[in-house]
Amino acid sequence: MERSEERGGSDKPAKQEHRSGEPGLRLKREIGLWSAVSITAGSMIGSGIFMSPQGVLVYMGSAGASLIVWAICGLLALLGSLCYAEMGSLVPESGGDYAYILRTFGSLPAFLVIYMFVLVGRPAAITAVSLSFAEYVLAPFYPGCSSLPQTPVKIVAFSCILLLLLINFWSSRMSTVVMNVCTAAKVFSLIVIVVGGVVVLAQGYSRTDFLLSAFHNTTNQAGRIGMAFYQGLWSFDGWANINTMAEELKNPKQNLVWAVMIAIPLVTILYVLVNISYLLVMSPSEILSSDAIAVTWGNQVLGSWAWLVPVAVALSTFGTVNAVFFSGSRVCYAAAREGHMPQIMSMIHVNRLTPAPALIFTTAVALVLVFPGSFSLFVNFLSFMSWLIFGTTFSCLLYLRIKTKNLPHAYKVPTFIPAFMVLVSLCLVLAPIIDQPQMEFLYVFLFVLSGFPVYFLLFHFRCQPKCIQTVTMQLQLLLEVAPTTKDN
């Protein structure tokens, strides 16, 4: 694979010969298989497993049904990621959903995806997990306080986002190192919870009575089941992040498949075992009344070592914010390179080889959302929007299977898998709207509609300010960035 290399100790990267013969800057291919596994697992393991079990239990009504939801969520994430791996082999470009929809359905649908993703989706995800990070960081300083004061929470979340901007701006390698370290801490913390549940069971102090009424009060309402899956799938969100950075992945056509085949089953097993551990230590009523289920579990099991839980959750959420930050900036960068975002977003730093303008833009939007936002406000909104986009991407694969023969497949899933995932996406999008409508769904619908006039005004009719070129040049000089090339 081609990579940028330094010559003679110079701080400036060497120019690379593009296949057309043109020299240019490129993002470095620095992400190997195990870093890809770490990014995939690290993107998924975040605040969700420490906060969403309560939501799944609320909507499903029983412990047994909740465990089934967690297992099915893992299966859906695995099937979806396998479809994405095939799309990644067909369209080996950074950008994930955006790149696949652009190459399959054209400019307008791709713009609507990027319009939702860049302006709301990824910044809102960064904000939501940053607020969760802030709450767990501050929890030890407010013992016995059921509701933390919002001013310090917002300040810590604000600081978290700025720190990750600096890390991602400075070096992509540094960002992947942070992800690797945080992923190791996440997996270790989940293993501690699993082992703690086993110890409690072995000592005979566990609450096994939930097994006697495991499916009592299970709901049969489609809307509530859909909302339960939203809560569970939020904990698996991030399974498609590795596709957004395909141009920085070594041997992407193979490593995409192996990364998800290793990471997602591992995370699914841990999630199910962690939920069983929660149920062995706490009754369903205790779980429903807890604002921080992992902290409550730690207080009952770890005793004087209970402080380890908020520390582990803080590391977990910090790593997730970093992963979302990393992938979100790559989608913004890919969209700008295709002309669906300002040109400055498609440039990378001439020395650091990082998409600095895209990082700064993502940071700015996330910081704006910190002040009015809350964790619970974002979960349903983001899950609904994500599965709307996922369903479109699965339909891309089906469309290519039907319309195009002899595709250059390095990897191929059975056709029934993307067909099944399209149906799952439709159910997850429509069932909550029909059975239990929420204002968040209306916001998404209105936001998508607003993308149509923006697209036709700015891109179809080219109604752009004349000063935009001057502003781009000034920002290019200020940020020390330059345009990039990509492999054909």
pLDDT at residue 374, rounded to an integer: 60
Q: Does 7 fall in a domain? A: no
| pLDDT bucket at 146, cuts 50 / 70 / 90 | low
Host domain of residue 320? 30-482
**334/97 Cα distance (integer angstroms):** 11
* Mean pLDDT calculated for residue range 383-387: 80
- Give the lowest-confidence range in 9-13, 29-33, 414-418, 453-457: 9-13
CB-CB neighbours of 30 under 10 Å: 18
13 found inside a domain: no
Per-residue pLDDT at 21: 40
User: Is pLDDT of 285 > 50?
Assistant: yes
> Is 90 exceeded by the pLDDT of residue 394?
yes
Residue 472 lies in a domain: yes
Query: Does position 4 have pLDDT exceeding 50, yes or no?
Result: no
The pLDDT assigned to 288 comes to 76
**323-377: per-residue pLDDT in tens?**
888 777 788 888 888 888 888 888 888 888 888 888 898 888 888 888 776 665 6
> Around 74, how many Cα atoms within 13 Å sit in the side-chain half-sphere?
21
What is the mean predicted confidence (pLDDT) over 289-302?
Answer: 77
Give 305's pLDDT tier (boundaries 50, 70, 90): confident
Q: Could you give the C-alpha distances from 203 to 193, 195, 199, 308, 411, in angstroms and in order? A: 15, 12, 6, 22, 48
Q: How do residues 420-431 score in pLDDT, each as one tens digit?
A: 999 999 988 887
- With 80 as the cut, is the pLDDT of residue 130 above it? yes
Residue 344, Cα to own-chain centre: how many angstroms? 24
Residue 395: what pLDDT? 92
Region 5-14: mean pLDDT is 38
Lowest mean pLDDT across 43-47, 203-207, 366-370, 473-477:
203-207
Is residue 15 in some structural domain? no
- Res 23: pLDDT: 47
Task: Express as a percent the part of the chain with pLDDT over 70.
Answer: 85
pLDDT at 8: 39
Please report whether residue 23 resides in a domain.
Answer: no
pLDDT higher than 80, residue 192: yes
The pLDDT value recorded for residue 5 is 36
Residue 71 half-sphere exposure toward CB, CA atoms < 13 A: 8
Is the separation of the CB atoms in 441 and 384 below 8 Å?
Answer: yes
The pLDDT score that the predictor gives to residue 19 is 40
Q: Quick one: tokens of 325?
A: 């930050």
Q: Do 358 and 119 touch, CB atoms closer than 8 A?
A: no
Look at residues 255, 237, 236 and name the one whose alpha carbon lies nearest to residue 92.
255
* Arithmetic mean of pLDDT, 220-237: 81
Who has greater pLDDT, 420 or 410? 420
What is the per-residue pLDDT across 169-183, written as a single tens digit (0 to 9) for each? 888 788 888 888 888
Rounded average pLDDT over 62-66: 85
Asked whether the predicted pLDDT for residue 75 surpasses 80, the reply is yes
Is 212's pLDDT higher than 80?
Answer: no
Decide if 440 is inside a domain: yes
What average pLDDT does the structure give for the chain? 80
Least confident of 64-73, 198-207, 267-276, 446-455: 198-207
What's residue 419's pLDDT?
92
pLDDT at 300: 83
CA dihedral 347, 114, 87, 23 (to 10 degrees): -10
Number of domains in the chain: 1
Element (H, E) at 348: strand 348-349
Output the domain CATH number for residue 411: 1.20.1740.10
Q: What is the mean pLDDT of residues 86-104?
A: 85
Instruction: Report the pLDDT value the prediction gives residue 6, as an integer from 0 to 100.
Output: 37
DSSP string for residues in 10-52: -SSBPPEE-TTS-EEB-----B-HHHHHHHHHHHHSSSHHHHH
Does residue 317 fall inside a structural domain?
Answer: yes
Confidence of residue 13 (pLDDT cuts 50, 70, 90): very low
pLDDT at residue 260, as a whole number: 87
